[in-house]
């Protein structure tokens, strides 16, 4: 089916092959194609260059260019795997993969650890958590006395920082999450299960055997 192949090739030119991406992630080829529809709309919203920049990411998340928050910035940085300041399609799919309901617990735990380890030292420091907390409270316009914030941090670190060295390391984090599974709530997007219906793609990849998930 010559004309079919060139249609697929044309569609994905300049981007990673959906079949390859599907083989490396929990997504099926049709799901990767559906993600491409989403990617296309986000990456063309400000600059139509096939890449998602910071502004486009914010726009997609908050539906407003002006809003940003420390959490979203961190997520952008993590999706920007190659540190280019932009997210390409491969980065997009691989990063979203961790949020798939079928992704491994280990990957989710690892992602959250790196999320909170803002300066990438390999430890979640108290100061980092304080920063994120203050930023969140600021945004929700909840003012808490510094004393109260310290109390919240004290309690959290008492629970999580087992060796009481003022930092949470990978292992301590892992144990902490296992005791508090709600910490991983943000790491699963049930939307990903219905992605092919939300973003129908008209590139029919009839060559690939689809196993219904």
Name the residues that contact other proteins, by CB under 8 A: 38, 42, 60-64, 66-67, 69, 71-72, 75, 99, 116, 129, 132-133, 136, 140-144, 148, 151-153, 155-156, 159-160, 180-186, 189-191, 195, 198
Name the minimum Å distance from CB 9 to other proteins. Answer: 26
- 27's tokens: 């997504």
Q: How many CB atoms lie under 10 A from the CB of residue 141?
A: 6
Provide CB contacts within 8 A for 90, sequence distance 6+: 15, 16, 21
Name the minimum Å distance from CB 180 to other proteins. Answer: 7
β-strands 86-87, 124-125 pairing: unpaired
Residue whose token pair is 């998602």: 52
Name the minimum Å distance from CB 38 to other proteins. Answer: 7
Q: How far apart are CA 173 and CA 212, in angstroms?
A: 35
Q: Nearer to other proteins by C-beta: 67 or 84?
A: 67
Q: Nearer to other proteins by C-beta: 139 or 207?
A: 139
Provide CB contacts within 8 A for 140, sequence distance 6+: none
Q: Nearer to other proteins by C-beta: 1 or 142?
A: 142
Residue among 132, 116, 129, 115 at smallest CA distance from 157? 129
Q: Nearer to other proteins by C-beta: 46 or 153?
A: 153
Residue among 20, 44, 50 at smallest CA distance from 32? 20
Residue whose token pair is 């908050």: 62
Q: Which residues pair with 124 in a beta bridge?
A: 168
Name the minimum Å distance from CB 24 to other proteins. Answer: 20
Name the minimum Å distance from CB 57 to other proteins. Answer: 9
Provide CB contacts within 8 A for 124, sequence distance 6+: 113, 116, 117, 167, 168, 169, 173
Name the minimum Å distance from CB 13 to other proteins. Answer: 24
């Amino acid at each position: 089916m010559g004309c079919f192949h060139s249609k697929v090739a044309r569609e994905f030119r300049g981007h990673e092959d959906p079949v390859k991406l599907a083989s490396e992630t929990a997504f099926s080829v049709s799901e990767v194609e559906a993600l491409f529809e989403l990617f296309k709309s986000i990456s063309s919203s400000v600059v139509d260059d096939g890449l998602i920049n910071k502004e486009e990411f914010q726009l997609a998340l908050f539906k407003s260019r002006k809003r940003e928050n420390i959490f979203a910035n961190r997520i952008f940085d993590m999706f920007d795997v190659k540190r280019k300041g932009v997210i390409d399609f491969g980065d997009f799919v691989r990063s979203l993969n961790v949020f798939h309901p079928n992704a491994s617990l280990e990957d989710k735990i690892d992602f959250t650890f790196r999320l909170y380890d803002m300066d990438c030292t390999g430890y979640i420091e108290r100061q980092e958590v304080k920063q994120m907390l203050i930023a969140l409270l600021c945004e929700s316009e909840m003012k808490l006395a510094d004393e109260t914030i310290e109390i919240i941090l004290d309690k959290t670190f008492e629970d999580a920082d087992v060796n009481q060295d003022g930092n949470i390391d990978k292992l301590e984090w892992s144990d902490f999450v296992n005791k508090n599974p709600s910490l991983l709530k943000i790491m699963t997007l049930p939307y990903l299960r219905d992605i092919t219906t939300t973003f129908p793609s008209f590139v029919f990849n009839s060559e690939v055997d689809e196993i219904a998930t």
